[in-house]
Amino acid sequence: MINKKTNSKKAQFFIISAVIVASILLIASRNLSDLGSAGLSSGAEMVEFGYIGMIKQALYNAAKASACDRIGEDISATENFLSTELAKRGIGLSAKHQIISCGSVKFDFNISSGGFSSSTEFWYP
């Protein structure tokens, strides 16, 4: 009978020890897995920041190359093209322009994607 009791206590100790060790390993792996994860949001933001300059340049060039009687149409066509192309990449573009005179246009656009959002305003010329 003594052997059965000691074997039973050894088995209980082994099971309890295994549960404790497994719990410690699980907690440690959860904590350590967060340290190795790479954040991609900063890289994505850098790509979107690059789009801001390209959008500004495209709208500026549209205003610069347009004749006075077609400036509104040309700028709208450029805004629509940019919006369509960026939507294919998962980036939303909302652009507005206000023609002050033939040689003066105010632009305002917003881009957004995921957690990134940016608002930009500039003038031509």
Which residue, among 111, 99, 104, has the nearest Cα to 56 in the 3D structure?
A: 111
Same domain, 24 and 51: no
Residue 73's domain comprises 41-124
Same domain, 5 and 61: no
Look at residue 99 in the predicted model and tell me its pLDDT: 96
Same domain, 12 and 57: no
Domain count, the chain: 2
How far is 52 from 29, CA to CA, in rounded Å? 40
pTM of this prediction? 0.64
Look at residue 38 in the predicted model and tell me its pLDDT: 47
Over the stretch 14-65, which tens digit does the pLDDT of each residue have? 777 777 777 777 777 766 665 554 444 555 556 778 899 999 999 999 999 9
Integer angstrom CA distances of residue 9 from 2, 6, 18, 20, 104:
11, 5, 14, 16, 89
Residue 109 pLDDT level (bands cut at 50, 70, 90)? very high
Mean pLDDT, rounded, for 103-109: 95
Residue, of 36 and 111, whose pLDDT is higher: 111
Same domain, 59 and 112: yes
Same domain, 51 and 26: no
